[in-house]
Chain A
Amino acid sequence: MGKPFNALIVGVGGQGTLLASKVLGEAARLSGFDVKQSEVHGMAQRGGSVVTHVRFGDKVYTPLVEMGQADLIIAFEKLEALRWAEYLKPGGVIVVNDLEIPPIPVILGAASYPEAVYERLEQAGISVVRINAVEAARQIGEVRAVNVLLLGVAAKIFGFDKHVWEEAIKTSVSDKSVPVNLAAFNKGWEMQGA
């Protein structure tokens, strides 16, 4: 592996992007790679736009993915998908949760929620994987597991073994929430296969 693999996980503060990036980082570590990741804590977690950078490879220096360098983005919300899409490299993939969370300027009528998000992404030459993760998570009976479910949808792109992912989940969440997170991950994993 020459250049590191670059991924972004983006969303709205409070959606659980940090857990998803933790699992991804652990999976990369368990697969024997050097890993770095950079997170957002603090102010932005109060409903702001949040991003986690995850990089893994033989040797990783900066923890930050640069614009135009991401192999993959997992977006927990549509508008955030559009906001961060410029970080994708040509031919990059974006997994988008089919969910709209209007930001305050939109709620106040000072701005409008962008239209035709998927079309715009596709026109820019980006491969879009669109997923109704909230509905899928509801099917397994845990709407809060949307984060790990989305990771499951994207998981095959990273090329790690399935058992590595399971191990990563077990090291990242409390014992009692292992089963729902495994279920969510598997649900996502199957959806991507379909």
Chain B
Amino acid sequence: MFSIKRLLSGNEAIARGAYEAGVRAACAYPGTPSTEILENMAQYDEIYCEWAPNEKVAVEVAQGASIAGARAIAAMKHVGVNVAADPMFSFAYTGVNGGFILVSADDPGMHSSQNEQDNRYYAKFMKIALLEPSDSQEAKDFVAAGLEISETFDMPVMLRTTTRISHSKGLVEMGERCELPLKNYEKNVAKYVVIPANARKLRLSLEERLGRLAEYANTFPGNRVEGNGAEFAVITSGIAYQYAREALGDRATYLKLSLTFPLPDTLIREFIAAHPVVYVIEEGEPFLEEQIKALGLKVIGKELFPRIGELSAAIIRQKLLGENAGNPALASDIPVRPPVLCPGCPHRGVFYIINKLGAIVTSDIGCYSLGVLPPLSAVETCVCMGASIGNAMGIAKMRPDKKVVATIGDSTFLHSGVTGLMDVVYNKGILTLVILDNSITGMTGHQHHPGTGFTIKGEPVRQVNLEALVRACGVEKVWIVNAMDLDEVEKALRAALNCGEPAVVITRQPCALIEKEKHRTGYIVNEQCKYCKMCLKLGCPALENKPGKVSINEALCNGCGVCVQVCKFSAIGKAGI
């Protein structure tokens, strides 16, 4: 039979896998490298999809769907699991009704993240099954396999990817959807109510369920020996499997592991007994290695291979074959190209004004984190989503002589900033919160959230009113300003900082990348330019520093007009006027 193969990213494959496996509910909060899972899921009418305000809510809604008898998925980036950890730990105790998968998309090498936590440890810590796909085909297949495991062993399953799985494409065989009826739902407080008396019993049953799963791990088809090379024996999982095969080819025998918690102990014992020296090749932390060593077995792992950053075929070649990659002579003096706030980004002018205030500026996670880079260099802290407000509160309490400004995006504020703001009001903090409201989740590529007025499927809905929300938290001093009117921004900020109570300034303008489609006319620099370079302090990529003058790159200029307001010589005007 002729089978249809399509080129899918790991994320697209997971969405497809969920569709084919009869998933009925999929919930997520965006985060690189996980975002496209839900974006792709949204194309299927059969699946209820939602952007939740944060990952904890996403898990809880998917958990509810599972309790109701549906197959369900929650997807997030690795740090999202920190936010969702609370319901997940209890979920291991209660188990599922419809199968449940938590997708954790890790980011070794920190392409777009603040850390490289290896979430495989979470599976062990939460005591749930762990699957590690090594390419798009497995990403798809393991959704179905994971849901089977989830229902058979009555536990949530973590499907753990990494950036090179999520964002790499490979050929995937397509199948049809199998439509499953909802499982029966019955009130069952002994299972779903984790009061201590019940939880103690569930604690025992959890070990029993895990024990059965550990047996099964030895026969799971994704855990298998491949090849028969005589030079090396390798235990590996996930993307590291691909790197190992690339580097060692037919020279090695591989124990390829996919269900990696609980580990298939018999398979591992047999493999190690059959080979004099066994290497564990895994990216990140020694997750497999530690467990294998805890079985009393001898392997070589992180004493040879790095635990920091991404692994590669080249590293394996270098460590095991002594081969070195070519020398990087060409690229020696090349300037770096860090990401920047886009031309026309509404965050730029706000940071420019904040810099004039002499305040301590905490920030948060989003495009506006880029306000840390020169020339704006405005941001002083950036920790995790929502932290700007708590951090500012702590600083303000300890240093009452200082003015403190917290900056946060609209999506991040709704994700986990609101609780921080309640704290500020409740515990009488004096600080100014700037909500940089571009009415979208910008950094991750424009996802809707409860404040935008649209669902993931594009249906119009009621939206959270930010002003009403901050007022409901007890903030009385609230300003709403046009983010691109620098005078207005400055007046509001100065008034807020001097009002002696918690204040919120909402700076509003849509994301420039969305506005781009509207083709605002750009600006040009005229002969009045004195080359004072004031405008260059904005760090706009459309402003170019040419010998003796500044010029505006018309292809990049988005016509926001912030540079016009900064220029003291009226040297910037509309093109064609």
Known: A35-B171, A41-B112, A42-B32. A103 touches B7 (CB 8 A): no
Assess whether B326 is in contact with A86, with CB atoms less than 8 Å apart.
yes
Residues of B within 8 A of A40 (CB): 111, 167
Assess whether B331 is in contact with A86, with CB atoms less than 8 Å apart.
yes
Q: Does B342 contact A (CB under 8 A)?
A: yes
Which of A34, A102, A109 is the most central at the interface, judged by chain B CB atoms within 10 Å of its CB?
A: A102
Q: Which of B188-196, B238-246, B259-267, B379-387 contacts A (4 or more CB under 8 A)?
A: B238-246
Q: How far is the CA of A64 from the CA of B336 in the complex (A)?
A: 21
Contact string against A for B residues 367-382, beta-carbon threshold 8 Å, 1 for contact and 0 otherwise = 1001001110000000
Assess whether A39 is in contact with B167, with CB atoms less than 8 Å apart.
yes
Contact string against B for A residues 100-132, beta-carbon threshold 8 Å, 1 for contact and 0 otherwise = 011111111111111000001100100000000
Partner pick for A43 among B325, B339, B541, CB 8 A cutoff = B339
Q: Interface residues, chain B, CB within 8 Å of chain A?
A: 5-7, 9, 32-33, 35-36, 111-112, 135, 164, 167-171, 239, 242-243, 245-246, 312-314, 325-331, 333-342, 367, 370, 373-375, 443-445, 536, 539, 541, 543-545, 555
Assess whether A62 is in contact with B338, with CB atoms less than 8 Å apart.
no
Which of A37, A42, A83 is the most central at the interface, judged by chain B CB atoms within 10 Å of its CB?
A: A42
Known: A40-B167, A79-B334. A64 touches B32 (CB 8 A): no
Q: Does A162 contact B (CB under 8 A)?
A: no
Identity of the chain B residue whose Cβ is nearest the Cβ of A47 in the assembled complex: B340
Partner pick for B164 among A60, A64, A106, A107, CB 8 A cutoff = A64
Residues of A within 8 A of B7 (CB): 25-26, 29, 35, 37
Residues of B within 8 A of A44 (CB): 111-112, 339
Which of B167, B245, B327 is the most central at the interface, judged by chain A CB atoms within 10 Å of its CB?
A: B167
Q: Does A157 contact B (CB under 8 A)?
A: no
Q: How far is the CA of A14 from the CA of B342 in the complex (A)?
A: 10
Identity of the chain B residue whose Cβ is nearest the Cβ of A48 in the assembled complex: B339
Contact string against B for A residues 41-54, beta-carbon threshold 8 Å, 1 for contact and 0 otherwise = 11111111100000
Residues of B within 8 A of A86 (CB): 326-331
Residues of A within 8 A of B32 (CB): 41-43
Instruction: Across the A-B interface, give the 6 residue pairs with the lowest CB-CB distance, nearest first.
Output: A68-B326, A42-B112, A42-B32, A111-B335, A63-B168, A48-B339
Q: How far is the CA of A82 from the CA of B245 in the complex (A)?
A: 30
Residues of B within 8 A of A49 (CB): 336-337
6 additional contacts (CB under 8 A) given A47-B339, A102-B544? A41-B33, A43-B32, A63-B170, A68-B326, A80-B337, A104-B541
Assess whether B169 is in contact with A25, with CB atoms less than 8 Å apart.
yes
Assess whether A66 is in contact with B331, with CB atoms less than 8 Å apart.
no
- 26 sampled A-B residue pairs with Cβ under 8 A: A14-B342, A29-B5, A34-B171, A39-B169, A40-B111, A41-B36, A48-B339, A49-B336, A62-B242, A62-B313, A63-B164, A67-B328, A82-B334, A85-B330, A86-B326, A86-B327, A102-B545, A103-B335, A106-B335, A107-B539, A107-B541, A107-B543, A108-B539, A108-B545, A113-B335, A120-B330
Known: A25-B7, A29-B5, A64-B164. A112 touches B337 (CB 8 A): no
Chain B proximity of A134: nearest CB distance (Å)? 8
